Amino acid sequence: MTTQAEKKQMRSAARLYAVQALFQMEVSGQPVETIQREFETHRFGEIFDDVKMAEGDIEHFRSLVDSAVNFQARIDQMTNRALVAKWPIDRIDPVLRALFRAAGAEMVNMDTPSKVVINEFIDVAKAFFPEGKEAKFANAVLDHMAREAKPESL
């Protein structure tokens, strides 16, 4: 039986994997089904540099990726409104773009409180950019996106 803490860890891992999958889709041009199957079959629980990767919540992963793809135009518009005019979404780092799409998917299509989404995806940003200012940038953009997507939950 899975504990509450294990479920939380699996959802956190699913968010990280969703960002990776969305990035990989953009870079490789592969369809969503191919990427999802690869992650579910090979990435979840993979041993990488002698470290076993976390198991992800497959349903949450699928929901994030599918929603990011299906609502991409809406999410990208929300992201653009949160960015400075000189930096439209197509000019930002592709990992951050994937992060904003995954977080936006959770904001617009799931019942997760905005504060949880923001905190979880700031942690994802820190995992990808441990020494950079990207986490603070992501926090500001995600906060703006959350105010638009779910103003009642902040």
Q: Is residue 33 part of a domain?
A: yes
**pLDDT tier, 6 (very low <50, low <70, confident <90, very high otherwise):** confident
Q: What is the pTM of this model?
A: 0.89
Tokens 């599918």, residue?
66
pLDDT digits (tens, 9 = 90+) for 11-31: 998 999 999 999 999 999 999
In this structure, how many other beta carbons lie within 10 angstroms of the beta carbon of residue 148?
15
Cα separation, 151 vs 48, in Å, equals 40
Print the domain residue range for 53: 4-147
Nearest in space to 102 (alpha carbons), one of 81, 86, 79 = 79
> Rounded to 5 degrees, what angle do the CA atoms 52, 30, 78 make?
90
Q: Is residue 53 part of a domain?
A: yes
Cα separation, 117 vs 67, in Å, equals 14
By the 8 A CB rule, do 13 and 55 touch? yes
First to last CA, the chain: 33
Structure-block tokens of residue 64: 């994030």
Structure-block tokens of residue 1: 């039986």
Q: Is residue 154 part of a domain?
A: no
What mean pLDDT, rounded, does the chain reach?
88
pLDDT digits (tens, 9 = 90+) for 96-131: 999 999 999 999 989 999 999 999 999 999 999 988
Q: Is residue 26 part of a domain?
A: yes
pLDDT reported for residue 29: 93
Average pLDDT (62-79) is 95
Q: Is residue 138 part of a domain?
A: yes
Instruction: Count the domains in the chain.
Output: 1
**pLDDT tier, 153 (very low <50, low <70, confident <90, very high otherwise):** low
**3-class secondary structure, 102:** helix
Q: Is residue 32 part of a domain?
A: yes
Q: Is residue 153 part of a domain?
A: no
Q: Is residue 58 part of a domain?
A: yes
What CATH number did the domain enclosing 20 receive?
1.10.940.10
